[in-house]
Amino acid sequence: MSYFKTAMLLAGMTALFMGVGYLIGGASGAMIALVVAAAMNIFTYWNSDRMVLSMYGAQEVDARTAPDLHRMVAELAGLAGLPMPRVFIMDNPQPNAFATGRNPENAAVAVTTGLMQSLSREELAGVVAHELAHIKNHDTLLMTITATIAGAISMVAQFGMFFGGNRENNSGPGLIGSIALMILAPLGAMLVQMAISRTREYAADEMGARICGQPMWLASALGRIENAAHQVPNYEAERAPATAHMFIINPLSGQGMDNLFATHPSTENRVAALQRLAGEIGGGGASFGRPSSPSPRGPWTGAPRGSGQPRARGPWG
């Protein structure tokens, strides 16, 4: 049902895009719009991961520069039946994470320094498993396509304003129609994009919880990230709000409701779903690592606070 709903929403967005082109230029306008969208999708298919990682200043790490994180991703990827993705760290105080890449063979997982400093090891494992679930479900490509089509709809709608507003015949939408098109078409595309994103988040939560074997690890992480995300600004995300749907929790301010305009489901609903899943699969032995009680809050790579033991060096070396 989740995939069927996603397919229907994506088909609706494509129909909206062609409809905008048709209103502006008739059948030829619809074809031109379709060609433009295809060209944009081809470009983003090959370059989207590099573009978004560069946008957030993500630095690639390996087993030498971030051994604990790299080992965690490798073990969870094995449990998920995935190739080892590239691992990136963003020097950003807001705890958050996202996955990108056109397919599992060319995927990347990126986490912020704020995430690594504020979550326990178990919570971080839940977040990484969630992002790996997006990769396994091919959501990274799907969300890139929807973002590209949404951007193309906005672009074509603006063309309608400039080229259709001065027409006095019936070949274009006219001035009033062009203004309405410029406002309503991007709004409709945004709503469909958000609906697709919310559908995929629920699916990734469930699969991620099953990958790590402990739904409550992810539930605890979601609550912690939600609280911090609205207190610690993510300036890169604020400058590029179209990428907000990629993160595990919306990095923008003022988005906490599970409503029509939310890029993510409400955290309360996601946690409730994970609690139900925990009741179904039990909370016994963990699939990831050895069963253990949650570690004290603080940087997940270090020794427990107050233990008197020296902390391990962080992921930056």
Which residues form the catalytic set?
A: 131
The pairing of strands 97-101 and 107-112 is antiparallel
Closest C-alpha among 264, 40, 243, 245 to residue 145: 40
Sheet of strand 97-101: strand arrangement: 59-61, 86-90, 107-112, 97-101
Task: Please state the φ and ψ torsions of residue 167, each to the nearest 5 degrees.
Answer: -80, 140
87: part of which helix (H) or strand (E)? strand 86-90
Residues in a beta bridge with 100: 108
45: which residues sit within 8 A by CB, 6+ positions away? 102, 141, 144
229: which residues sit within 8 A by CB, 6+ positions away? 94, 95, 96, 249, 250, 251
**Complete DSSP assignment for 35-71:** HHHHHHHHHHHHHHHHHHHHHTT-EEE-TTTSHHHHH
